[in-house]
A and B are shown apart, each in its own frame.
Chain A
Amino acid sequence: AQSVAQPEDQVNVAEGNPLTVKCTYSVSGNPYLFWYVQYPNRGLQFLLKYITGDNLVKGSYGFEAEFNKSQTSFHLKKPSALVSDSALYFCAVRDGVSGGYNKLIFGAGTRLAVHP
């Protein structure tokens, strides 16, 4: 079965510093990977996805993620953190079901706290 792991419950970073939120995956076949962000009392917002192609994927709000097949990782990164980036971040993998349909399997989430 497909799965993702987010090894850090919380990441703390100072505003202006680079940030990394880690994600590792376990899949059979080609991985389809996603990052979502959840702001307090809000729904999930799509940030970016990796399907195929370049290992560095660029997404919304200046975020990017690096797909590393040998390390089975898909870490989320941003060169310069903002206080407004403070939120809960979810990594997800697409899991195929019969009929060609899919569902998302989510990691446990990582809370990012950016301090002024």
Chain B
Amino acid sequence: DTAVSQTPKYLVTQMGNDKSIKCEQNLGHDTMYWYKQDSKKFLKIMFSYNNKELIINETVPNRFSPKSPDKAHLNLHINSLELGDSAVYFCASSQTSGGRTDTQYFGPGTRLTVL
């Protein structure tokens, strides 16, 4: 059973297009995240949602808009794609109890290539 899943696994698109990446977790967690891994494998957090509420926004360009329809899903929509957006995007989830966040579990990643 897949704990954190992402679709699509690969995404190749042209500059200027708009695309979405979907993430779902079946762990019953209440907090979800998006991380970006660049070409040098450096990982950096982008967003975090707790119970559908945005709690972390790491000064990401406003072309990136996360949406959480429910606490099991966190989608990432990217407008006007640029070459620099090419990266691997990872979704993660964790359970926050008593205000202390437990271990984050990651999805398989979505490799976005902007041509």
Where the two chains meet, the residues of A that have a C-beta atom closer than 8 Å to any C-beta of B are 34, 36, 38, 42-46, 49, 88, 90, 94, 97, 99-104, 106, 108-109
Contacts and interface: CB of A to CB of B under 8 A. Distances in A.
Nearest to B107: A43
Contacts of A43: 4, 90, 106-109
B11 interface: no
B55 interface: yes
B108 A101 contact: no
B96 interface: yes
Contacts of B101: 94, 101-102
Interface string B85-107: 00000101000101111011111
A106 to B, nearest CB: 4
B44 interface: yes
Interface string B4-45: 100000000000000000000000000101000000111111
Contacts of B106: 36, 43-46
B50 interface: yes
A36 B92 CA distance: 13
Interface residues of B, number: 28
A42 B42 contact: no
Given A43-B90, A90-B43, A100 B105 contact: no
Contacts of A100: 96, 98-100
Contact of A99 (B99, B104, B107): B99
Given A44-B90, A88-B41, A104 B96 contact: no
A36 B41 CA distance: 13
B103 A42 contact: no
A100 B106 CA distance: 21
A45 B99 CA distance: 24
A46 B106 CA distance: 8
B56 A101 contact: yes
